Structures are given as C-alpha cells and as structure tokens.
C-alpha cells in the first residue's frame, strides 16, 4: 500500500493534535484480528535481496541469521511467507489451540505510555504515539485460534514456503475455560502437542506465559504445573526440540525453581512474553480494554526487563550446568537492540512489536552486519559476543578481507600498524637468506599485544584457515589438531592465544629447543607439552619468507609426526607469504605442505592507493630486488 493511503487509514486516529503514526504497521490496528488474518500483511512495498548462507546454528539447525519473529505477529502462512521473504529466519507460528477460539473484542492493540502520576505498573492506553523510539503497545487478543483442521494444513503450507536456512517453530497451548481440573488442562496441552506433531513442525514451543486470558493467572508462575506440562509434552514429541516461552520473573529464586523443573524436558527458553500492565484506557473510549484491566505490554518499554531476564538465564544456565538455548524477546526495534541481546548471552533473538511496525528490521540488521564485516574497525567497537558471533559466520574470503584491513588500518598511528614501510631499511629478523634488509616490515606483534580484538580475530582466522584449507574432512576436524610454536617473536604468542581461546579444538603447543627460542626474546616459557601422534599438527607462523625458520622448527618435530601417513600429517600455515615462489621448494625439501592466507603482493596491492609516492617507489624497488 502506498504511503498516502496508509496515512488516510490512520487519519481518524489522530488525537488532540498528535501526529499521524509514522510506523509501518504490517498489521492494521484499526481492524479486527479476523480481518488481518484474512487480508494481511500490509505495508510491504518490496522484498529486499540478501546474500546469505546458513552459517549460524540455532539448536541443531543451520540458519541464515539468529533473528526472527516470536509467536504472535505471524497469524498464518501468508504472514510467514512475507516475513520469510523479508529476511526473518527464525519464525514462530502464532500460538494455536486444540479448538477454534475467538479473539477478544476490539481494540486489540493500543499504544501505551507509563502512567507517570502513579508509581505502579499502570499505563495509559492511547490510539496514537508520539515517539517511535519508545514504541510500546499493549495487545489483548486472547490468543485466538483456528480449528486444528485449518491450522494444521496452514502450518504444512508454511513449511513448504520457507527458504533454505529458515526455521519454523510452532507455538501451542492448552485451553482452560470449560475444563474442570488441572489434569484436563494438562491433557489439552498434550492434545495440542500431538496435533502439532502431525504437521511435522521441526520445533515446538509451549506458550506458558500469556497474561491476558480469561482463566486468570500466567501458567509459568505455577512451577509444578509447568513441570508436568513440559514433561508430558516431551513424552509425546520425543526428539523434536521443545521451547518453553516464559514471562518475566522479578524473583530469581522463582525462576530457578521453574528452570530446575522444566530443564530436563526442554531444549530452549524464550523470554519474555508481554509484561503484565494495568491498562487505564483513558483516551480510547471503548469499554473492553478497560474491563480487561490487566493486559500484556510489549515493545520498547519491556526491553530492560527482557534483557535482564536473558542475562539471568545465561547466568543460571552456567551456574546449574543446564543446556537450554536462550531466545531473547522484548523491545527489539533496531539493530542495536539485537546486538544487545547477543551481548548478554542470547543464542537467538526475536521481535514482535518491532517486526510488526518496521518490517525491514531484519534487513537493517543484515545490512549492519554486512557493513561491519566489511569494516573491521566498526566491528571491534561492538563488543565481545557480538564480534565473535560475526566472526563465526565468516567465510575464509571474508576473514581475508578483514585481515587486510586490520593490518593497515586508517585509524592507528603508523607505528602501531602491522605493515610498516620506511625509508630506512629494516633488518629482516629471520628467514631471508643472508639477512637482507627491507623497506617493508610486517610486525604481527602489534595486533597481538596491543588489542584483544585483533588477537581474538587472528586466532579465529588461523582456526578457519586450518579447518578450511587443511582439515577439510569432518572426521579430521573432530579429531582436532595441535599447534606448534615457531620461535619467531610473535607466533609463540599466537599459539598461546590459540590455546587460550580454542582449547576445545586444539592440542597443546610444543616448546622448540632452547637454541631456537633464545634467538629471539619472547614469553615462551609457558608453552609446553607432549605431541599427540594421533592428531594432525600445524606449525603456525606469521610470515613465510625463505622458509628457513619453518625448516629449523621441523627438524625438532618427532619423526612419527613428521612422517605420519596422510591425512594425519604435519602442515604449516602462515598469514602472509612474502616469497610464494619459494613455497614449492620448501615443501619439496621438508615434505610439509604450506598454506598462506595472502601474499605480500596482495597486501601491497590492496593498500596501494594509500601509499605516498615515495613509499610506492620503495616498494617497487624492493619487490623486484627481493624476488
């Protein structure tokens, strides 16, 4: 729909001179749930194109991104299709029941503002909003559901519509009204799970947290009931992962009790559902919302509560050695919110209000991430967990691009760079026959010592190089590998960093004999251990020049490893190959294959425009000289 029509639609909502809402609702809040079910979604003029591959992992599924929409906004397969095309990859089908169930009467959605005159959880409901940044709404649908015959077919259709790297979660719940005992209520949950299984949905979510139901209380605050529901659902769904969607707990002790009860039966926790608020419907003169009083508040207002919940879940999971994945939900309306959730420990993030009011939110996150991948300096400012989640999804080519930026960044003072070009010649520390002098110097100690991000990045980069170039075979990767320190000044530190950061995937480093280590000063003393002959070993060094250093190191490696049969062999890997043409003779004389990320030529070409004419002259002179 074009902008002018959408403005017309909202005109009657303007109130006391407030502006027309600028949000791009895909759900028409002025119309009924059934109308939106039949005709929505709206306001999606185009579908953006992404270039993605399923490189992230959520539960045991490979997904394109860790972002999606929780139960609620995706009313049926048409909505699922639209949001899948918009680039949301973890999509939850709105909660279904064992029978058809009508929606509450209108209004279903109102903007809300905290009632400043009262120090409690009361809100003023408004049919407009003034600030998009604090977008908060209340929704009171009453969890409407179609008959199982309808939703089962529709879920199957949704599954067919998804793209590669997208995951569908089906949200289910039991219906309390009309039933007389808790047992019957639990039975209704189980019946719903059985119906859900018939659709072949790959993941099932149990909604334990809808606040605005006729039955009153929120299920997740009844810990014993939740334990029974989750246990019995797990009995019928078997290996299909189960997510428990919970509400906000203001007492950690209560959350611990719940987790202990449900942990054996679930694979993930989705937190949080809407926060209960007392809606004082002062400005929308409709009786029903006022009658409900307590209603679910979502959007920007609940973000601090939801973030805090994720932080606590992350802490408790660790403390009690539990294994569930965490889905962070609540107030994600911009890419930075998504990042905040990953930073506090979420394994995936979903947005309801944000995705309904800005359908391009997923694309904005994608764009920001791709920009960050291209700009290492920006990525570094984001934070540990976000940065490592970015680097985990990188291909070797993307690593290469970032590495090229990292070693000669525009923002660092020249002497902090890895790549240094000077008029005075540097004495090459090692490797070059006859120890020639050079105008070009690569000092990887700078990133290793100066900046923790760079160190972490280099470790990930080496790991990726080793896994992609050497250990292509899955069995080999599982077998892990060992890293050997080379007695140059930076690589023992690199090895130490790899031991620190990748302890689960690599073996111990080995100390080179004293005569090599003393050639250069460095903190090598902590690198020690035996070489396990059952795994491949990799010599890592930063720069390959003539291969002399590597050759000297290989001499010290036990024969069982040096001459082990393919594929359990010894390999060598370097970041830069200064003289790639010497690589072949190196392999011939040592029997060790050498892999490098880039050649010095590539590095110089990449940064060529930034060199002064004097530097260019020096480089050209030297490269032909040294060749």
Ligand X SMILES: Cc1cc2nc3c(=O)[nH]c(=O)nc-3n(C[C@H](O)[C@H](O)[C@H](O)COP(=O)(O)O)c2cc1C
Please list the alpha-helical segments (H only) found in 491-547: 491-501, 514-517
Judged by CB under 6 A, the residue of 65, 76, 98, 171 near ligand X is 171
Of 71 and 496, CB closest to ligand X:
71
Judged by CB under 6 A, the residue of 36, 166, 207, 546 near ligand X is 207
Kindly state the number of chain residues that form the binding site for ligand X, as judged by CB under 6 A.
26
What is the rounded CA–CA span in Å between residue 341 and residue 353? Answer: 16
From the CB of 333, what's the least distance to ligand X, in Å?
Answer: 8
Q: Among the candidate windows 114-122, 307-315, 350-358, 396-404, which touches ligand X by CB under 6 A?
A: 350-358
Give, in order, the Cα–Cα distances in Å from 359 to each of 109, 162, 580, 619.
Answer: 17, 17, 49, 50
Strands 136-139 and 294-299: antiparallel
Contact 69, 88 (CB under 8 A): yes
Number of neighbouring beta carbons within 10 Å of residue 76: 20
Q: Where are the beta strands (DSSP E) in 433-564?
A: 437-442, 482-484, 537-544
From the CB of 43, what's the least distance to ligand X, in Å?
Answer: 15
What is the rounded CA–CA span in Å between residue 269 and residue 226? Answer: 13
Number of neighbouring beta carbons within 10 Å of residue 51: 7
Q: Among the candidate windows 16-24, 65-73, 360-368, 398-406, which touches ligand X by CB under 6 A?
A: 65-73
Q: Among the candidate windows 215-223, 345-353, 395-403, 567-575, which touches ligand X by CB under 6 A?
A: 345-353
Residue from 192, 210, 230, 298 carrying the catalytic annotation: 210
Regarding 545 and contact with ligand X (CB under 6 A), the answer is no
Q: What are phi and psi of 99, to 5 degrees?
A: -150, 165
Tokens of 463: 């790991």
Of 30 and 551, CB closest to ligand X:
30
Regarding 299 and contact with ligand X (CB under 6 A), the answer is yes
Regarding 549 and contact with ligand X (CB under 6 A), the answer is no
Look-up of token digits 């979420």: 346
What is the rounded CA–CA span in Å between residue 539 and residue 521? Answer: 19
Regarding 277 and contact with ligand X (CB under 6 A), the answer is no
Regarding 489 and contact with ligand X (CB under 6 A), the answer is no
Of 273 and 596, CB closest to ligand X:
273
Burial of 290 (0-12, 13-18, 19+ CB in 10 A): middle
Of 324 and 586, CB closest to ligand X:
324
Of 206 and 499, CB closest to ligand X:
206
Q: How many helices (H) and strands (E) does the chain have?
A: 25, 21
Regarding 95 and contact with ligand X (CB under 6 A), the answer is yes
Judged by CB under 6 A, the residue of 143, 459, 512, 557 near ligand X is 143
Q: Name the residue among 460, 444, 448 with its Cα closest to residue 373.
A: 460
Tokens of 3: 């902008």
From the CB of 104, what's the least distance to ligand X, in Å?
Answer: 11
Reply yes or no on whether 210 is catalytic.
yes
Regarding 295 and contact with ligand X (CB under 6 A), the answer is no
Q: Binding mask 241-270 vs ligand X (x if CB under 6 A, - otherwise)?
A: ----x-------------------------
Regarding 274 and contact with ligand X (CB under 6 A), the answer is yes
Regarding 94 and contact with ligand X (CB under 6 A), the answer is yes
Q: DSSP letter string over 55-108?
A: -EEETTEEES-SEEE-SSS--SHHHHHHHHHTT--EEEEEEE-SS-BPPPSSP-
Judged by CB under 6 A, the residue of 54, 127, 354, 547 near ligand X is 354
Of 364 and 429, CB closest to ligand X:
364
Judged by CB under 6 A, the residue of 41, 73, 227, 482 near ligand X is 73
Regarding 297 and contact with ligand X (CB under 6 A), the answer is no
Regarding 72 and contact with ligand X (CB under 6 A), the answer is yes
Cα radius of gyration (the chain)? 29
Regarding 488 and contact with ligand X (CB under 6 A), the answer is no
Of 58 and 376, CB closest to ligand X:
58
What is the rounded CA–CA span in Å between residue 454 and residue 443? Answer: 13
From the CB of 361, what's the least distance to ligand X, in Å?
Answer: 10
Of 304 and 513, CB closest to ligand X:
304
Burial of 610 (0-12, 13-18, 19+ CB in 10 A): exposed
Helix, coil or strand: residue 165: coil
From the CB of 247, what's the least distance to ligand X, in Å?
Answer: 9
Number of neighbouring beta carbons within 10 Å of residue 19: 11
Of 101 and 611, CB closest to ligand X:
101
Regarding 463 and contact with ligand X (CB under 6 A), the answer is no
Give the interface with ligand X as residue ranges (CB under 6 A): 70-73, 94-95, 139, 141, 143, 171, 207, 210, 245, 273-274, 298-299, 302, 329-332, 351-354
By annotation, the residues acting in catalysis are 210
């Amino acid at each position: 729909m074009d902008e002018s029509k959408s403005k017309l639609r909202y005109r009657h909502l303007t109130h006391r001179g407030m502006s027309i809402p600028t949000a791009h609702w895909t759900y028409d809040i002025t119309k009924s749930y059934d109308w939106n079910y039949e005709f929505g979604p709206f306001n999606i003029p185009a579908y953006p194109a992404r270039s993605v591959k399923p490189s992230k992992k959520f539960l045991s599924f490979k997904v394109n991104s860790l972002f999606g929409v929780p139960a609620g906004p995706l009313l049926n397969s048409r909505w699922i299709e639209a949001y899948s095309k918009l680039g949301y990859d973890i999509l939850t089908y709105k909660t279904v029941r064992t029978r058809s169930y009508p929606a509450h009467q209108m209004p279903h959605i109102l903007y809300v503002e905290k009632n400043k005159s009262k120090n409690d959880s009361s809100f003023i409901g408004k049919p407009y909003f003034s600030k998009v940044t604090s977008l908060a709404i209340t929704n009171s649908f009453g969890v409407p559901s179609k008959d199982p015959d309808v939703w089962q077919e529709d879920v199957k259709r949704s599954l067919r519509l998804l793209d590669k790297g997208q995951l569908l979660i089906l949200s289910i719940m039991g219906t309390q009204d009309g039933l007389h005992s808790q047992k019957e209520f639990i039975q209704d949950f189980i019946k719903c799970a059985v119906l859900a299984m018939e659709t072949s949905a790959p993941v099932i979510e149990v909604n334990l947290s809808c606040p605005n139901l006729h039955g009153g209380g929120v299920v997740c605050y009844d810990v014993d009931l939740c334990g029974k529901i989750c246990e019995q659902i797990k009995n019928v769904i078997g290996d299909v992962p189960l997510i428990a969607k919970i509400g906000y707990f203001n007492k950690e002790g209560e959350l611990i009790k719940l987790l202990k009860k449900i942990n054996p039966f679930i694979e993930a926790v989705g937190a949080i559902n809407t926060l209960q608020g007392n809606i004082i419907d002062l400005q929308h003169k409709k009786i029903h919302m006022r009658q409900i009083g307590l209603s679910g508040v979502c959007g920007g207002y609940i973000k601090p509560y939801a973030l805090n919940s994720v932080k606590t879940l992350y802490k408790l999971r660790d403390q009690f050695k539990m294994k569930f994945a965490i889905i962070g939900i609540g107030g994600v309306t911009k890419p930075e919110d998504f990042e905040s959730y990953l930073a506090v420990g979420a394994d995936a993030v979903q947005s309801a209000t944000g995705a309904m009011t800005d359908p391009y939110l997923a694309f904005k996150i994608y764009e920001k991430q791709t920009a960050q991948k291209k700009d290492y300096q920006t990525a570094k400012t984001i934070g540990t967990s976000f940065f490592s989640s970015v680097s985990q999804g990188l291909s070797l080519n993307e690593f290469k691009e970032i590495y090229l930026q990292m070693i000669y960044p525009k923002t660092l003072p020249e002497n902090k760079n890895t790549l240094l070009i000077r008029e005075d010649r540097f004495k090459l520390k090692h490797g070059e026959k006859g120890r020639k002098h050079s105008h070009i110097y690569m000092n990887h100690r700078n990133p290793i010592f100066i900046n923790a991000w760079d160190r972490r990045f280099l470790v990930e980069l080496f790991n990726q190089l080793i896994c992609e170039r050497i250990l292509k075979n899955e069995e080999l990767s599982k077998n892990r590998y060992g890293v050997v320190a080379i007695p140059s000044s930076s690589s023992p530190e690199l090895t130490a960093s790899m031991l620190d950061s990748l302890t689960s995937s690599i073996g111990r480093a080995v100390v080179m004999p004293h005569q090599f280590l003393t050639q250069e000063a460095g903190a090598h003393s902590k690198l020690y251990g035996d070489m396990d002959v059952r795994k491949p070993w990799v010599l890592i060094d930063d720069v390959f020049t003539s291969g002399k250093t590597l050759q000297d190191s290989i001499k010290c490696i036990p024969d069982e490893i040096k001459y082990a049969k393919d594929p359990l062999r010894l390999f060598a890997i370097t970041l830069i190959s200064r003289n790639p043409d010497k690589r072949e003779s190196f392999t011939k004389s040592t029997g060790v294959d050498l892999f490098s990320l880039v050649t010095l030529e590539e590095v110089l070409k990449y940064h060529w425009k930034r060199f002064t004419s004097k530097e260019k002259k020096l480089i050209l002179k030297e490269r032909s000289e040294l060749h």
